[in-house]
Structure 1
Amino acid sequence: MGKGLQITNIHGWTVEFLQAQEKAIEKASMAKRVMTIRLLMQGYYATQVAELLHLHRETVSEYAKKFNEGGMEKLLHRKYAPGRRPYLLPEEAQEVRRMLESSTPAEEGYGCQTCWDTRILRDVIEDRFSVIMSRGGVGHMLKRWGFSYTRPTYTLKRANKAKQEAFIQQLNTLKKTPQTK
């Protein structure tokens, strides 16, 4: 074949090693990058590699450039966008987490509720930090922090504890005895 896109092999990679790397890499897009370099090292033209792997020819050239500059490390490096700036500052987030873990809305001066919910928390965030969030946004934030939604459980005020314990023991005894037909 003629002069195609050249791979400078200053890193010491062989075609066989690259082939083994392709199989070892779990992420298909990264394996495709290694396959691109392997095919170029085997003598394929960039346009042929692009057609074989369903890539744009400029993408093939970009992969070759990255590999020539920094080897496998640079080829497989992928920079992700930093993402959106959080609504709350880290100190504010810590304050909200502290409130959720150690107090109730009534203790913090927000009504007579005993359990936090997204509606109350949204109002607290708006009052204390002047940050407006939707209830869904508050829910997603809580999920990221590792909190989960649970329904409140009720205890009966006039329940007889002794009768309840006796019933549980009787139920456990019934569960242990074999059923006869």
Structure 2
Amino acid sequence: MNAQGQIEELKEAMKYAKDHRLYERFQAVYLFLIGYTRIEIAKIINRRRQTVGTYINAYKEKGLKGLELGHSPGRPSKLSKEQKATLFEVITTKVPADVGFTARYNWTLALACAYVKREWNQDYSIRSMSDVLHGLGLSYTRPTYTLEKADPEKQKEFVEKTFADVKKSF
């Protein structure tokens, strides 16, 4: 296809591009074909010159197909599938006290982070751990209230015996 045909093809593609990022790629190549330099294009679309070069090279190799958006997988997980399976099993079948967190009977995001750090030496922020647990199909809730006037002896018995037994049964 000649240069004028390529320009017309890109104009048409830009008309029907529904995704902003795809439109930007078409625009970058279009501007290149009508005579702008990569540096000028980078300033116009607010991208790096190297990015513009990537778009142009992709177009030269594969045409419009080369500019289509692919899947961006993101950063690889810090935990392997086996480690995630172990984490899931521990959180769903044990209380924190069972795995060495004394006087803890509810899992929190902070405890899950501490467990992962201790077991596999991987640091997670609270937010990232929330994402990991969500990916495993788990959710968490916050306590809604505490009983300030409750009998401390009964509370201690509940935490140490009753609640621990109920939690283990799930």
TM-score under structure 1 normalisation? 0.53
Say whether residues 1:104 and 2:92 are aligned partners. no
Q: Which amino acid aligns with 1:70?
A: K
Name whichever structure is richer in helix by fraction. Answer: 2
Q: Which runs of 5+ in 2 are unaligned?
A: 151-170
| More RCO (CA 8 Å, sep 6+) | 2
1:68 matched to 2:75? no
Q: 2:83 — aligned with what?
A: 92
Alignment of structure 1 residues 134-145 onto 2, 5 Å: 136=126, 137-145=128-136
Higher alpha-carbon deviation: 44-53 or 89-98: 44-53
RMSD over equivalenced CA pairs, Å:
4.3
Match of 2:141 among 136, 140, 150: 150
* Distance verdict in 2 for CA 1:121–1:64, change over 3 Å: closer
* Distance across 2 between alignment mates of 1:102 and 1:69: 53
| AA aligned opposite 1:30 | L
2 CA distance for matches of 1:112 and 1:103?
Answer: 13
Paired residues of 2:28 and 2:41 also in contact (CA < 8 A): no
Q: Deviations over 1:94-123 (max 9, x none)?
A: 111122233322454543433211333234
Distance 1:144 1:19 in 2: 41
SS of residue paired to 2:132? helix
The list of structure 1 runs, each at least 4 consecutive aligned residues, that deviate by more than 6 angstroms after superposition, is 56-59, 154-157
Which structure is larger by alpha-carbon Rg, 1 or 2? 1
Structure 1: 5+ residue runs without aligned partners? Answer: 1-7, 158-181
What SS does structure 1 have at the residue aligned with 2:86? helix
CA distance in 2, matches of 1:87, 1:27: 31
* Contact 2:38–2:53 (Cα < 8 Å) also in 1: no
Q: CA deviation at 1:80?
A: 5.3
Instruction: Give the one of 44, 48, 62 matched to 1:54.
Output: 44
Which residue is 2:10 aligned to?
18
**Partner amino acid for 1:27?**
D
- SS at structure 1 position matched to 2:96: coil
Q: Which moved more, 1:132-141 or 1:64-73?
A: 132-141
